[in-house]
Amino acid sequence: MKYQDMEKAALQAEQAALQERYDAFVARGLKLNMARGKPSPEQLDLSAGLLSAIQPGGGRASTDSTPGSTWPADSAGDDVRNYGGLLGIPEARALMADVLGVPAANVMVGNNSSLTMMYDTVARSVALGVRGFTPWSKLEKVRFLCPAPGYDRHFAVSAAFGIDNIAVPMTPDGPDMATVEHYVNTDASVKGIWCVPKYSNPQGVTYSDEVVRRFAELHPAAGDFRIFWDNAYAVHDLDPAQPARLADLKSACEQAGNPDIWYMFASTSKITFAGSGIAALATSADNLASISQQIAFQTIGPDKVNQLRHVAFLQDQDGVRQQMRQHASILAPKFAVVQETLQRELAGTGTGTWTQPRGGYFISFEGLPNTARRTVALAKAAGVVLTGAGATWPYGEDPADSNIRIAPSYPSVEELALASELLSVCVRLAAIEVLL
């Protein structure tokens, strides 16, 4: 029976029974963490071959050694240990182009973090401006659109530069495009929008073809408006045989007469080693040329040795697919046990709903209004750490105090079964407190 339909006495009896279960969990002294989407040690072990992917004398590199050197070169013949290669080695650009679904000529490959590339892109816009436009630091107001629930680190980047974050509601097809169009097309202070277009963080939404088309057909009031398209989960399917399909933003923008409106980002952080991968920024040729000029004084080139070993290890798109099938075999049972536990414990109680994503790293839970902070606090006191309530909204302010992001990737299946059961008890306790 739904808790909303229960009499006060029945609710109080239910509360007492749940409190006993909760106290038993507290007594166990659990120490489990479902706060962030970290790959598990088993997933990281899948990439152990990276450490020996290239060796002096050529190793597994597909290109010839530089004349006079025992170390491998890239396909341009450049020694990867030396300076240069501002946009990354050609093979790495081609590899990440396959991940993003764009030509290699549109891609630059950097070091391990796509978040760093996003931060730097915002920082350049603030300090130097976009393609000749006034630097954002010299403007009275700069605003970014933030589909919410969304990725907290995105929102933190724009907030760190004093940019006003504006929440945009998410729908099952992606951001509410009527809201996006209103702001972008009428307000010149709106300079960007954060997007996780495939298996969005945390809801697991893949943007529909219609949403992608409407993004491409925006008529920005600001000539330096850009879509920050963070395709972090481009190849992260829980069932590789049934991947979600995301429309091609680059082609859509070109067809709509907006060839420069987009930036794409991705990395291998959840493909190989989380802290030692390679990251990519893709954009139009004119944007890329401008970015190259701006960063020429910042760096003399990325870690090309790491780029080459990723190419040697993953090889090509088929190699990436094989790697991700192995990831899926580890992740899918973890997502399944969370789903099964939430269904068993919460179905019919009216205390919340949750997403059933086809990929990515998160499950989004929506509880009753004014229960998320209490639920997270109860779980923490019993030894399970969740993402902070409100984190999925700009400035950490969930207006309904109802959303909780669940990250199943790091704990074991057995630990997740326990943690999900405890979470369910906390959800029900918090709901009863509100109803009473």
State the span(s) of the chain assigned CATH 3.40.640.10.
54-315
| Measured distance CA(61)–CA(91) in Å, rounded | 11
Taking 3-state DSSP, the helix, strand and coil percentages for the chain, each rounded to the nearest 5, stand at 45, 15, 40
Q: For residue 238, which phi and psi values (nearest 5 degrees)? A: -75, -30
Considering the domain 54-315 in this protein, what is its CATH number? 3.40.640.10
Which of 357, 101, 124 is closest to 239 using CA atoms?
A: 357
Q: What is the pLDDT of residues 257-271, one digit of tens each?
A: 999 999 999 999 999
| Measured distance CA(89)–CA(84) in Å, rounded | 9
pLDDT classification of 292: cutoffs 50, 70, 90: very high
Report whether pLDDT(399) > 90. yes
Q: What is the pLDDT of residues 196-208, one digit of tens each?
A: 999 999 999 999 9
**pTM over 0.85, yes/no:** yes
State the span(s) of the chain assigned CATH 3.90.1150.10.
3-30+321-435
Report whether pLDDT(60) > 90. no
Instruction: Provide the pLDDT for residue 57.
Output: 58
Which of 318, 402, 327, 322 is closest to 361 using CA atoms?
A: 327
Mean pLDDT of the chain: 95
Report whether pLDDT(435) > 90. yes
Which residue type occupies 379? A
Highest-scoring range by mean pLDDT, 63-67, 71-75, 428-432: 428-432
Which residue type occupies 171? T
Q: What is the pLDDT of residues 215-255, one digit of tens each?
A: 999 999 999 999 999 999 999 999 999 999 999 999 999 99
Report whether pLDDT(382) > 70. yes
* Contact by Cβ (8 Å): 199, 389: no
Out of 20-29, 70-79, 184-193, 426-435, pick the least confident: 70-79
pLDDT classification of 64: cutoffs 50, 70, 90: very low
Considering the domain 3-30+321-435 in this protein, what is its CATH number? 3.90.1150.10
Instruction: Provide the pLDDT for residue 79.
Output: 87
